[in-house]
């Protein structure tokens, strides 16, 4: 009886690392299914916010940096998006950081809207630059223009805010249920 009281009153040190490993395995497994962005994006965004709020901001940022790499390596992201990988990573980091920081001071739906808008703004600005002003890299001695195709504007534009809002709303609902069960 006493052991249950101690365990219930104090979280075990291995619980959060195990939860994080489960989140990583789930994210990578789900991404590898190759579903369209409208299905993958909300699930990944929900998972990122749940990890940020339950496990910590550092693990959420790490996961947010690894998910686009997993999507690229499993060929879910087209090769033409390789230039966007650092921006997607940064967008995920901004999303979880902004949400976690301001959700402690503001209501959760407004915090989600601000975080989703911040992620969208970064990704849309980056893709606009890369579509309309291609990078020039030198291969051998010849400069080569490297650009992002125009269809990426949709993937990194309005779809980002939609998937962030859907996933974030799901995360808020899930966290609310988990919090109510704690009480």
**Domain map of the chain by residue range?**
2-182
What is the predicted pLDDT for the residue at 10?
A: 60
What is the predicted pLDDT for the residue at 5?
A: 46
The H-assigned helical ranges of 36-183 are 37-54, 57-73, 85-103, 108-132, 152-156, 158-182
Q: Which whole-number Å values give the CA distances from 83 to 5, 110, 135, in the listed order?
A: 52, 31, 9
> Domain 2-182 belongs to what topology?
Arp2/3 complex 21 kDa subunit ARPC3 (1.10.1760)
Per-residue pLDDT of the chain (183 residues; tens, 9 = 90+): 445 544 555 667 787 888 888 888 888 898 888 888 899 999 999 999 999 999 999 999 999 999 999 998 888 877 778 888 999 999 999 999 999 999 999 899 999 999 999 999 999 999 888 888 777 878 788 888 777 777 788 888 899 999 999 999 999 999 999 888 776
What is the predicted pLDDT for the residue at 171?
A: 95
H or E element, residue 134:
none
Angle (CA) 56-61-65 rounded to 5° is: 150
**Whole-model pTM?**
0.85
**Which residue matches tokens 């997993």?**
70
What is the predicted pLDDT for the residue at 1?
A: 45
DSSP readout, 67-89? HHHHHHHTTSS-GGGGGGHHHHH
Angle (CA) 9-15-19 rounded to 5° is: 135
């Amino acid at each position: 009886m006493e052991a249950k009281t101690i365990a219930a009153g104090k979280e075990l040190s291995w619980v959060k690392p195990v939860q994080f490993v489960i989140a990583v395995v789930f994210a990578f497994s789900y991404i590898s299914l190759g579903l369209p962005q409208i299905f993958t994006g909300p699930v990944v965004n929900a998972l990122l916010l749940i990890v940020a709020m339950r496990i910590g901001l550092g693990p959420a940022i790490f996961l947010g940096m690894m998910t686009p790499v997993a999507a690229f390596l499993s060929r879910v992201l087209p090769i033409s998006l390789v230039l966007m990988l650092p921006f997607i990573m940064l967008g995920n980091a901004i999303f979880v950081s902004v949400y976690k920081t301001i959700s402690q001071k503001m209501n959760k739906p407004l915090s989600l809207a601000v975080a989703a808008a911040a992620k969208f703004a970064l990704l849309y600005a980056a893709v606009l630059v890369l579509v309309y002003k291609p990078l020039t890299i030198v291969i051998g001695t010849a400069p080569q223009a490297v650009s992002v195709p125009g269809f990426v504007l949709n993937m990194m534009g309005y779809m980002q805010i939609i998937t962030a809002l859907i996933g974030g709303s799901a995360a808020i609902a899930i966290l609310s249920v988990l919090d109510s069960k704690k009480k």
